[in-house]
Copies of this chain bind each other. A is one copy, B any other.
Amino acid sequence: MNSRLKFLLLNLFLLCSLSAMAQEKINIGEKQAISSAILNEKREIWIHLPKTYNDSSISPAKYPVIYLLDGEINFEYYTGMSDFLARPPYADMPECIVVGIKNTERTRDLTPTKSQKKSPVNPNVILFGDSGESENFVRFIQEELKPFISKNYRTQDYSILVGHSFGGLFAVNVLLTHPEYFNAYVANDPSLWWDNKVLISKTKSYLEKNKTFPAHKFLYVSQANNEEQNKNWNSEMTQAIEEFKGIVEKNGSLNYKHHFFESEVHGTVSYPGNYDALKFIFKGFRTDIKKLSKNPQLLEEEYKRFSEKAGSNFTPSETYLNVVLKFMKSNDFKESEDYFINLKNSLYPKIK
């Protein structure tokens, strides 16, 4: 063997060792880049697949998709949270794909109108000069990002949009302008004060014209206890969120939850808000495995009820049915076990 060959082999060996070590890393997703013609720029997105996505022991399943704004800040806790909440047998929600969108020009993308504001700390500084292009950004999500995700991953036709602050403003605006784009919207401490409360006016106009929100849509709004609310623009923020709440609750046609977090400020409220939001959106999804031992058909009844409420068809996952079957078997509930074997075979027929 010549020395050049030896050198190459040594390199090969080192690379293999490195790649073996890399397997010991704990991965929660991957970064991908999309060239957006609408935004005329490359966008980085972070994609998390749920635990069972590549489980070859079950039939390939389809998953709802959560679109998460400010991806670089929220992706890591959000994906851990949604996976934990989807764990059988205590699953509060279905397993979901999470798509985090990283910012480039945040204010430009998330605000609905062009507006400016003098800095509350120093009036010589003009804030938010580059703003008002949220319609482009939502077109990017709807016409470029969603098709990319659906093409490359197994998706169920159910999606949620999650945002905080300007991202919450954006989520509310999408609900008002394109309610059909998502099934549920999450707005954490949304900046509804934006541009003289332009979204409050828009909400009023929307309801004057349409009378009600479309059926089966969900909106969750969290509100922080901004200590500084009496000092600067947070006062406007609080007032606008409360005005919006009044209008939506009075109308009464939207599946709406508002929650005020006493011990959170603007920068911390997303975390408990996102948890509470998923509990709200998927309320009725969790089934009690113990009750199924006596009353196995309850499972399909509850999924039917939940699907009607959510406006999309949800079925028990094969993973969940496997947990149910294990429970019935180990506790000798023979009739229920047979029932769920049949249900599993009908929902997930194995090709022979």
Contacts and interface: CB of A to CB of B under 8 A. Distances in A.
Contacts of A81: 77, 80-81, 271
Nearest to A48: B26
Contacts of A263: 279
Contact of A16 (B15, B32, B76): B15
Interface in A249-263: 263
B30 A228 contact: no
A32 B265 CA distance: 37
A117 B78 CA distance: 38
Nearest to A271: B84
A4 to B, nearest CB: 8
A81 B27 CA distance: 16
A24 B19 contact: no
A226 B295 CA distance: 20
Contact of A27 (B25, B121, B268, B275): B25
Contacts of A78: 80
Interface in A262-290: 263, 265, 267-268, 271-272, 275, 279, 288, 290
A279 B74 CA distance: 19
A29 B19 contact: no
A87 B119 CA distance: 23
Interface in A48-106: 48, 73-81, 83-85, 87, 89-90, 92
Contacts of A18: 19
B8 A267 contact: no
Contacts of A22: 19, 22
A331 interface: yes
Interface of A: 4-5, 8-9, 11-12, 15-16, 18-19, 22, 24-32, 46, 48, 73-81, 83-85, 87, 89-90, 92, 119, 121-122, 227-228, 263, 265, 267-268, 271-272, 275, 279, 288, 290, 331-332
Given A26-B27, A74-B84, 7 more contacts: A15-B16, A18-B19, A77-B80, A80-B80, A84-B271, A85-B268, A90-B267
